[in-house]
Structure 1
Amino acid sequence: MTQDPEAVMLFAAGFGTRMGALTENRPKPLIKVAGRPLIDHALDLVNALQPKRIVANLHYLPDQLEAHLVPKGVLLSHEKPEILETGGGIRAALPLLGSHPVYTLNPDAIWSGPNPLTMLREAWNPDHMDALLMCVPVDQTVGHTGKGDFKADENGRIVRGGSLIYGGAQIMKSEGLMDIPEKAFSLNVLWDRLQRQDRLFALTYPGRWCDVGHPEGIALAEGLIADV
């Protein structure tokens, strides 16, 4: 079995609570930045890969996302009655994603620079890696006020702490999800295990990145797009 990824998982199930009133009647992936829904900016990155399958998980206000995504050829993984978080969401979608490693992408970020997914594809080495995360140095982020998530050694292996922000794009093998007992769980559970096994790696993004997880991020992201 080849260890090259063939499918992409888009995380679209969340409630978007940090967006406040903007997500009372609209799922966060459909909030517009520069006149287009966030998830369409993400699909631009995804479609450049020409993957065999694109899958999105849905939970909050799923009918709106279904109407938007089905005409674009996106397969849907409905999470009900409860939301499954990132790790549980991928595991539930595996019948659609397949058994190969998968790309995952959070739609609530704008990237200014090279396509992070194509960069991940070029750097992926399944002999040494079980997950390869695209990370952004804190000083290259826009509107980010928190601390970093990871630090990397000279070979790209990462541990917690440091000045790298996880940007929301990765390639990962899915086998490690199968023996996690919880039904709903974060990918952090898997990442921590891979870190202990020296199988967790990062690629450092050379461009800029903006989190659009809060209302102020919309204007910041539009400014970033306008600077291109």
Structure 2
Amino acid sequence: MPDAVMIFAAGLGTRMGTLTRTLPKPLIPVNGKPLIDHALALVDDSAIETVVVNLHHLGDQIVNHLGQRDVRYSRETDQLLETGGGLKKALNLLNSDAVVTLNSDAVWAGPNPIKALMQAWDPDRMDALLMLVTPKNAIGHKGEGDFMMEANGALRRGAGLTYTGCQIIKTQPVASIAEDVFSLNTVWDQLLSRGRVFGLEHQGRWCDVGHPEGITLAETMLRDTNVRPN
């Protein structure tokens, strides 16, 4: 079972415009707390021990914010390595055969996606298990979806379900990529060709907070979730 999580926090946040000129995107507040704290709340609830955060744009602010928290940092000082390259660089800090990865620019409503993935994880069948959401539950996200899911959970490319930025993935396929800078799509394409990528549909809503409008949308989503009757 994965016991390490990689939180992607190194992006430049260019879609946020002036908001990220002096503040890294993971520290932008949503509903009274920074985005990265929303991500870490999911990690804390899952009881994962090892937490790695990658850093680039204004990364020292993130370190200062997290203070004495037990977090390991993977610094991408010289250049951005994209998602796949960032994960590859951090593998020695993660020290696990399979890891959870989580984007820091999203907010969730509903069950903890990390716990759901861990319950469904089957390493004998899977090299990657992606948390997906229907387009109607992908708040603030444009696009027609990323994957189609078969009855057995296997994925193929196509407009259908939207990838949320949360997954479990084995580390060996990531380590085997020769390049230093690459997207996780490069790894997925190799695994998809072997039928080793599976999906799970999030039983709740998810908000993309990669753009300024996403802040209000996320806060509205959380408020509506909190006032719904049980």
User: Is 2:61 the partner of 1:64?
Assistant: yes
- Corresponding residue number in structure 1 for 2:34: 37
- Corresponding residue number in structure 2 for 1:123: 120
Spell out, residue by residue over 1:121-167, the C-alpha distance to the aligned partner (whole angstroms, 9 max, x if none).
Answer: 00000000000000001111212221210000001110111210001
Cα deviation, residue 222, structure 1: 0.2
1:133 counterpart (130, 133, 144): 130
Cα deviation, residue 67, structure 1: 0.8
The CA RMSD over aligned residues, in Å, is: 0.9
CA–CA distance in structure 2, aligned partners of residues 43 and 187 of structure 1: 22
User: Is 2:116 the partner of 1:98?
Assistant: no
Cα deviation, residue 181, structure 1: 1.9
C-alpha contact 1:211 1:217 (8 A) present in aligned 2: yes
C-alpha contact 1:101 1:173 (8 A) present in aligned 2: yes
CA–CA distance in structure 1, aligned partners of residues 138 and 198 of structure 2: 20
Cα deviation, residue 100, structure 1: 2.2
- Corresponding residue number in structure 2 for 1:216: 213
C-alpha contact 1:144 1:211 (8 A) present in aligned 2: yes
Number of aligned residues: 225
- Corresponding residue number in structure 2 for 1:28: 25
Spell out, residue by residue over 1:89-123, the C-alpha distance to the aligned partner (whole angstroms, 9 max, x if none).
Answer: 11111111003200000011111100000000000
C-alpha contact 2:3 2:96 (8 A) present in aligned 1: no
- Percent identity, aligned pairs only, is 54
Moved over 4 A (4+): none
CA–CA distance in structure 2, aligned partners of residues 126 and 18 of structure 1: 36
CA–CA distance in structure 1, aligned partners of residues 205 and 22 of structure 2: 30
- Corresponding residue number in structure 1 for 2:170: 173
Q: Residue type of the partner of 1:71?
A: Q
Please, what TM-score do these two structures have when normalized by structure 1?
Answer: 0.97
CA–CA distance in structure 2, aligned partners of residues 223 and 50 of structure 1: 28
C-alpha contact 1:59 1:78 (8 A) present in aligned 2: yes
